[in-house]
Amino acid sequence: MTGRLRVALVGGPMYDHLYDRFDADEVEVVVHADHPTLNRAVAERLGAGERLDLISTHSKYAPSQAAWLHDLAPLVEEEVVAPLAPRAVDLCRHGGRLLSLPRLVDVRVLWVRADRVPDPPHTWEDVLAAGISFGFPGRESGLFGTFFELVVGAGGALFDEDGHPTMDGDHAVDGVATLCRLAASAPGDLPDWHYDEVDAALLGGRIDAAGAWPGAWGAIRSSELADRLAPHPYPAGPDRWVSYAGCHSWAIPTTCGNLDAARSLLIDLMGTEAQAHDAVGGSMCAHQGALAGVVPEGPVDALRLELIRRTIDEAMITYPPLACFPAIEDAGWSAIHDALRGRLTPAEAVERIQRAAWRVLADVPEETTR
């Protein structure tokens, strides 16, 4: 089977700048969407046996796609993998297989309007006590991710050592309550926000501060508010400083119709030139050589890069490698979203998350971990 390679891509301002490398005569983009929409479309197409040759995925989501993905270890030479950050590569392994190769490492830092917030917050309690209008995603993965940060930062966990969900304890209730208090000081449409809407609210002056992914730098540096926005460490919890993270990555599905061409495109995307192109856009590319060659554009950019590297080294937390985790996340964010809307109390929300997590796990005969 030949023809143009059929690819599925994550979309948005943080990611789209890379895709001008694709030759329209050689690559057909069949999905181009935000990550939750991308995941649903990929699952539907792969489940139906549709040909997809290369897909954008994520270290958090690839385990749920494992049955449809090639093990890349026998397909890609060691010299392609060796320049990539070892921790990023490890996050892309699951069940003894290399399901994907890392495009970039995502971890949030705090951006604050210096003209509105003269004393940047160090902790979540500082944010609340100062009445800072803090923006965060009000739905889907970004909302559950912020909940995850609050729980772990307070000394809690989503699962115990045996893999049992622990999302109905005091840390979880406090986490949802904190999100509700933060939302009360933010614009009323926050529960509708995804990642890009958070960035737009920050750059539009609607909020005082927000966590932002590295790829948001391109929009920040070109914003009319660029001279008033300053990067700081992400707020810490009472127990730990954490920022949830993972790797956007590339994978080759088992429905691939031209394995040699898909492999060549993957190798190109893992190379210095493509990875440097991503890094210039602000992302923390996985290719260590390409990242080392990035020259900061000024003191703010230098501080930003320093904070991102420090956060990766000291504060990065990642989700457990469960194939069923996306289903748990979906149930989780919808319950928290209802709490933001006032439809549930924080205690009711975490009870619903816990019940949903047990239901999902009961439907999975056995979970494979790294």
Contact status, residue 338 vs residue 152, Cβ threshold 8 Å: no
Do 72 and 58 reside in the same domain of the chain?
A: yes
Do 114 and 207 reside in the same domain of the chain?
A: yes
- As given in the structure block, the two tokens for residue 17 are 């700048």
- pLDDT for the residue 370: 41
Do 119 and 93 reside in the same domain of the chain?
A: no
Do 210 and 348 reside in the same domain of the chain?
A: yes
- pLDDT for the residue 365: 53
Do 188 and 219 reside in the same domain of the chain?
A: yes
Do 210 and 347 reside in the same domain of the chain?
A: yes
- pLDDT for the residue 319: 85
Q: Which of these three, 305, 330, 353, is where a domain ends?
A: 305
First to last CA, the chain: 33
Q: Which of these three, 259, 279, 305, is where a domain ends?
A: 305
Dihedral angle, C-alpha 38, 40, 42, 45, nearest 10 °: -140
205 φ, ψ (degrees, to nearest 5): 80, 15
Task: For the chain, give the number of residues.
Answer: 370
Does 368 fall in a domain? Answer: no
Do 324 and 214 reside in the same domain of the chain?
A: yes
- As given in the structure block, the two tokens for residue 213 are 């992914």
Do 155 and 252 reside in the same domain of the chain?
A: no
Do 221 and 125 reside in the same domain of the chain?
A: yes
Does 101 fall in a domain? Answer: yes
Overall number of domains in the chain: 2
Containing domain of residue 36, as a range? 5-105+245-305
Do 157 and 275 reside in the same domain of the chain?
A: no
Contacts of residue 85, Cβ cutoff 8 Å, sequence gap at least 6 = 102, 105, 286, 288
Measured CA to CA, the distance from residue 77 to residue 270 in angstroms comes to: 12
Does 158 fall in a domain? Answer: yes
Does 311 fall in a domain? Answer: no
Does 370 fall in a domain? Answer: no
Do 240 and 297 reside in the same domain of the chain?
A: no
Q: Which of these three, 282, 305, 328, is where a domain ends?
A: 305
CATH number for the domain harbouring residue 224: 3.40.190.10
Contact status, residue 252 vs residue 5, Cβ threshold 8 Å: no
- pLDDT for the residue 145: 94
Task: For the chain, state the CA radius of gyration.
Answer: 20
Q: What is the mean pLDDT of each run of 10 residues along the chain (370 residues)?
A: 86 88 92 91 95 96 94 96 94 94 94 96 97 96 95 95 91 98 97 93 97 92 95 97 94 97 96 91 91 89 94 91 86 95 97 94 59
- pLDDT for the residue 368: 43
Task: Give SS3 for 168.
Answer: coil
| Half-sphere CA count of 330, side-chain side, radius 13 A | 12
Does 195 fall in a domain? Answer: yes
| Half-sphere CA count of 272, side-chain side, radius 13 A | 8
Do 131 and 174 reside in the same domain of the chain?
A: yes
Does 312 fall in a domain? Answer: no
- pLDDT for the residue 364: 61
